[in-house]
Amino acid sequence: MTGATGYVGRAVVRELQVHGHEPVSSRQRLSEPFGSIDADAVIHLAGLGRVRESFEDPLSYYAVNVGGTLNLLQALEGQRFLLASTAGVYRPSDLPLTEESPREPSSPYAASKAAAEDLVAWAARSGRIGATTLRLFNVAGGGDTDTTRVITRAVAAAAGAVPGMEVYGDGTAVRDFVNVRDVASAFVVALEACAVGESAVYNVGATPASVRDVLGAVEEVSGRSVDVTWRPAHPGEVRFQRADVSRLQALGWKPCHSSLHEIVSDQWLASAPAPDRGPSR
């Protein structure tokens, strides 16, 4: 398993253990060739993941996200392979996004993930591996520390850990949020459905909400206001993004912790200053 000590990785490790699996963390750099991997399956979570940074250094994003995936695949024969991808591969749409929706990556990061998706799908078609790609929407909760993410930033601002947050546009843009614990359960469900020679893609999302919805939920949970600086919308900003997760639900997956209130509460309890944890009203 790559990325086992990361934000999503820690949750996936716990969920695997609960279901009787024995996760082993890879300590090797993705940029280096792997020897033969002695495991029933590989869950690939490691990689570079900052959209704005990817515009400044696209070559590194391809080297790590595509080249690292290639290095792993070359060490496999007959195993299952699960790739963490992103909803950023999709073309923006006002309709819920299905796994068959057109891809149109708008950043080097998303483009590198789309290329990695193709790589694992072709490897599965050759019979070398079983491949499953999980396209993660906006993962949140569980003590996330990445304050570039909207819920994490808003909670950190309410807690006084950061001075405030900037919102681009009028705050009505909608994103699909999912608790990291539900993401972890999605990986376990998808792992158990994966078979060598087959390739599948699943969306992982749960709760559409606007930025204003997030701000309201944070203020309700924390009892504190969030200091917001409003900025003009970025040109080409995606106004609406929602996941159709019926394919994953058909495997038996159900998001159990992903109401907006629960995601925000989860993040607040994990990261707020100790004397102020929990709602104050």
The answer, yes or no, to whether residue 235 has pLDDT greater than 80, is no
What pLDDT is attached to residue 273?
62
Q: Which domain holds residue 213?
A: 7-276
Instruction: Indicate the pLDDT class of residue 279, thresholds 50, 70 and 90.
Output: very low
Instruction: Indicate the pLDDT class of residue 238, thresholds 50, 70 and 90.
Output: confident
Q: Is 2 contained in some domain?
A: no
Distance CA 191, CA 248 (A): 12
Amino acid at 109: Y
Distance CA 249, CA 247 (A): 5
What pLDDT is attached to residue 9?
97
Map residue 12 onto helix, strand or coil.
helix
- Average pLDDT score, the chain: 94
Q: Is 1 contained in some domain?
A: no
Q: Is 64 contained in some domain?
A: yes
pLDDT single digits (tens) 112-165: 999 999 999 999 999 999 999 999 999 999 999 999 999 999 999 999 999 999
What pLDDT is attached to residue 276?
47
Q: What tokens does 141 get?
A: 């909760």
Q: Which residues contact 195 (CB under 8 A, 6 or more apart)?
A: 80, 130
Distance CA 127, CA 130 (A): 7
Task: Answer for the pair 44, 28: CB distance below 8 angstroms, yes or no.
Answer: no
pLDDT over 90 percentage in the chain: 88
The answer, yes or no, to whether residue 231 has pLDDT greater than 50, is yes
The answer, yes or no, to whether residue 22 has pLDDT greater than 90, is yes
Instruction: Indicate the pLDDT class of residue 38, thresholds 50, 70 and 90.
Output: confident
Instruction: Indicate the pLDDT class of residue 281, thresholds 50, 70 and 90.
Output: very low
Q: Is 177 contained in some domain?
A: yes
Q: Which residues contact 223 (CB under 8 A, 6 or more apart)?
A: 279, 280, 281
pLDDT over 70 percentage in the chain: 96
Residue 160's CATH number? 3.40.50.720
Distance CA 37, CA 151 (A): 37
What pLDDT is attached to residue 237?
75
Task: Answer for the pair 110, 89: CB distance below 8 angstroms, yes or no.
Answer: yes
What pLDDT is attached to residue 29?
76
Task: Answer for the pair 26, 4: CB distance below 8 angstroms, yes or no.
Answer: yes
Count structural domains, the chain. Answer: 1
What pLDDT is attached to residue 274?
58
Least confident range from 49-63, 178-192, 233-247: namely: 233-247
What pLDDT is attached to residue 28?
77
